[in-house]
Amino acid sequence: RKEVEQDPGPFNVPEGATVAFNCTYSNSASQSFFWYRQDCRKEPKLLMSVYSSGNEDGRFTAQLNRASQYISLLIRDSKLSDSATYLCVVEEGGSQGNLIFGKGTKLSVKP
């Protein structure tokens, strides 16, 4: 079983749509969770950390379900500039910050 699994997409949505990405992870000892955004041929950039209580940053909402080992990212009112690959990232349990990345979900927002 892969450690972090995501639907690779692509998700093709119109501007203004709401889109949700899901991710599951296998290591129950993991303590830190993140969503990163990666544009084509660029480095990953931190989008947001994910907290047990759920957290929101503008149009982006992240949620964590530890019991189900499930993480989600919701993007509301999507913009053309949201087009990118979204990487679900989990800190390796028992490590010193080593991150385990999913393969990413590709989002394409169309006018």
Partner 1 sequence: DTGVSQNPRHKITKRGQNVTFRCDPISEHNRLYWYRQTLGQGPEFLTYFQNEAQLEKSRLLSDRFSAERPKGSFSTLEIQRTEQGDSAMYLCASSPRNEQFFGPGTRLTVL
Residues that bind partner 1 (CB under 8 A): 4, 32, 34, 42-46, 49, 87, 89, 91-92, 95-104
Whichever of 43 and 58 has its CB closer to partner 1, that residue is 43
Shortest distance (Å) from residue 110 CB to partner 1: 22
Shortest distance (Å) from residue 1 CB to partner 1: 16
Q: What is the DSSP string of the chain?
A: --SEEE----EEEETT--EEEEEEES-TT---EEEEEE-TTS--EEEEEE-TT-EEETTEEEEEETTTTEEEEEE-S--GGG-EEEEEEEEPTTSSS-EEE---EEEEEE-
Whichever of 76 and 106 has its CB closer to partner 1, that residue is 106
Shortest distance (Å) from residue 49 CB to partner 1: 6
Shortest distance (Å) from residue 55 CB to partner 1: 13
Whichever of 82 and 91 has its CB closer to partner 1, that residue is 91
Whichever of 4 and 75 has its CB closer to partner 1, that residue is 4
Q: How far is the CA of 52 from the CAs of 28, 46, 63, 70, 111, in angstroms?
A: 14, 18, 7, 11, 34
